[in-house]
Amino acid sequence: MRLLTHNFLKCNEENCTGGYPLQIKLDDTSSENVKILEQDFNKEFVKNVLSKVDYDVLYNTAKQFGISLLFSYTSQHLEDEGFLNSIHHALFKIHIMEGSLICPQCHVSFPIKDGTLIYIYIYIYIYIYIYF
């Protein structure tokens, strides 16, 4: 799962407000809990996507992965390829493979296994149990 995707994810528990951003916890027992994968750089695409993300969240999340982005940017930076490349790297190339996302409010944890995130209403599981 990319950090760009993480930027849009929030807790979906029924009465949870403020479940954004989700905390990323990597699985330490796994050696490949993060992967860096190549992705073609498309300047316009990166600029357009950047305008949609919550930049503060991106800044903090990138820090967790050892990437220090500019604390804030101006329209001048949008023409700076160096800056855009750093954004591109953070948003697109980092893939979380093994870990979990934890809601800062209700502390529910959603696992990420082999890059896939699983998010289901807990009460559905209860229904299954009763049905049997």
Partner 1 sequence: MFAMDSNHQSNYKLSKTEKKFLRKQIKARHTLLRHEGIETVSYATQSLVVANGGLGNGVSRNQLLPVLEKCGLVDALLMPPNKPYSFARYKTTEESKRAYVTLNGKEVVDDLGQKIILYLNFVEKAQWKELRPQALPPGLMVVEEIISSEEEKMLLESVDWTEDTDNQNSQKSLKHRRVKHFGYEFHYENNNVDKDKPLPGGLPDICDSFLEKWLREGYIKHKPDQMTINQYEPGQGIPAHIDTHSAFEDEIVSLSLGSEIVMDFKHPDGIAVPVMLPRRSLLVITGESRYLWTHGITCRKFDTVQASESHKSGIITSDVGDLTLSKRGLRTSFTFRKVRQTPCNCSYPLVCDSQRKETPPSFPESDKEASRLEQEYVHQVYEEIAGHFSSTRHTPWPHIVEFLKALPSGSIVADIGCGNGKYLGINKELYMVGCDRSQNLVDICRERQFQAFVCDALAVPVRSGSCDACISIAVIHHFATAERRVAALQEIVRLLRPGGKALIYVWAMEQEYNKQKSKYLRGNRNSQGKKEEMNSDTSVQRSLVEQMPDMGSRDSASSVPRINDSQEGGCNSRQVSNSKLPIHVNRTSFYSQDVLVPWHLKGNPDKGKPVEPFGPVGSQDPSPVFHRYYHVFREGELEAVCRTVSDVRILQSYYDQGNWCVILQKA
DSSP letter assigned to residue 22 = P
Among 18, 45, 68, 79, indicate the residue that binds partner 1 (CB under 8 A): 45
Q: Is 11 in the site for partner 1 (CB under 8 A)?
A: yes
Say how far residue 18 (Cα) sits from the centre of its chain: 16
Q: Is 96 in the site for partner 1 (CB under 8 A)?
A: no
φ, ψ for residue 61 (rounded to 5)? -70, -40
User: Stretches 27-35, 64-72, 75-83: which one binds partner 1 (CB under 8 A)?
Assistant: 27-35
Residue 70 contacts by C-beta under 8 Å, 6 or more apart in sequence? 77, 83, 86
Q: Is 117 in the site for partner 1 (CB under 8 A)?
A: yes
Q: Is 114 in the site for partner 1 (CB under 8 A)?
A: yes
H or E, element range at 26: strand 23-26
Q: Is 8 in the site for partner 1 (CB under 8 A)?
A: yes
Q: Which is nearer to partner 1, 8 or 64 (CB)?
A: 8
Q: Is 81 in the site for partner 1 (CB under 8 A)?
A: no
Prior bond to 21 cis, omega within 30?
yes
Q: Is 36 in the site for partner 1 (CB under 8 A)?
A: no
